[in-house]
Amino acid sequence: SQTIHQWPATLVQPVGSPLSLECTVEGTSNPNLYWYRQAAGRGLQLLFYSVGIGQISSEVPQNLSASRPQDRQFILSSKKLLLSDSGFYLCAWSRPDRGNQPQHFGDGTRLSIL
Amino acid sequence: SQKIEQNSEALNIQEGKTATLTCNYTNYSPAYLQWYRQDPGRGPVFLLLIRENEKEKRKERLKVTFDTTLKQSLFHITASQPADSATYLCALDSTGGFKTIFGAGTRLFVKA
């Protein structure tokens, strides 16, 4: 069966510090991978998605970036965090078919910027 | 712009009753509509998917309807239980796209 791991579960970082959140998927090949941010009381905001190694599509201009160095590894990064980067970050995967595919989420990282 | 609306007010119901949650959308023609459950501090979990040419889909105590004329989906939980208490998210998807749009969700409380 497929599993998705996301870490850390919680993170407290000072403004201006770098960020690296990692997500790995097991039990499937060539998944579509996604990074979302969820603000309290709001829907999930798609940040990045990837259909293959090294292929990243950005949905929202911001100081975050994503990379996919391996088939089942997705990394969210920032060189300098802003207060507005606080939130709940979720990684997800889906089967490599367009549309009609549910997404499977990790348990998220609660990021607090001080 | 595309918009999904779910009732932001929490829904409180008694155990054993049917819970009905609403998802309305505008400026969008989704090919698929999905419902997810999210518990506090956890990621959403997929429940059901319904296609634009399907009017209704069922899975155990869950039932989803999809009315593309009204631009609305209804999500029903019959014989509700306290364990059904969670936030339920509606999500829309277009054919050939990766950009699933999620609603903010409706919080459901089922009282014993």
| Alpha carbon of A84: minimum distance to chain B alpha carbons (Å) | 19
Cβ contact A108–B34 (<8 Å): no
What's residue A61's pLDDT?
67
Which residue, among B27, B26, B23, B50, has the nearest Cα to B104 in the 3D structure? B23
Nearby residues of A74 by Cβ (< 8 Å), 6 or more positions away: A22, A23, A24, A25, A33, A34, A35, A50, A66, A67, A68, A91
A26-57 as b/e: b if 16+ CB within 10 A: eebeebbbbbbbbeeeebbbbbbbbeeeeebe
Cβ contact B89–A44 (<8 Å): yes
B35-76: pLDDT as tens digits: 999 999 999 999 999 998 898 999 999 999 999 999 999 999
β-pairing, B11-14 with B106-111?
parallel
What's residue B48's pLDDT?
95
Q: Which residue(s) pair with A52 in the sheet?
A: A55
pLDDT at A99 over 80: no
What's residue A39's pLDDT?
87
Q: Which of A49, A59, A108 is opposite residue B43, by nearest beta carbon? A: A108
Q: What percent of chain A has pLDDT over 90?
A: 79
Q: Which of A43, A98, A105 is opposite residue B103, by nearest beta carbon? A: A43
A102 → chain B, closest CA residue:
B46
Sheet holding A3-7, edge to edge: A3-7, A19-26, A73-78, A64-70
Amino acid at B81: Q
What's residue B31's pLDDT?
80
Averaged pLDDT, A39-55: 89
C-alpha A42/C-alpha A46 separation (Å) is 12
Band (pLDDT 50/70/90 cuts) for residue B97 is low
Q: Is the CB of residue B55 less than 8 Å from the CB of residue B43? A: no
Which chain A residues are within 8 Å of B57, Cβ to Cβ?
A: none
B99 at A interface, C-beta within 8 A? yes
C-alpha A43/C-alpha A21 separation (Å) is 21
pLDDT at A29 over 60: yes
Which chain A residues are within 8 Å of B97, Cβ to Cβ?
A: 98-99
A89 → chain B, closest CA residue:
B43
A88 → chain B, closest CA residue:
B41
B96 at A interface, C-beta within 8 A? yes
B88 → chain A, closest CA residue:
A43
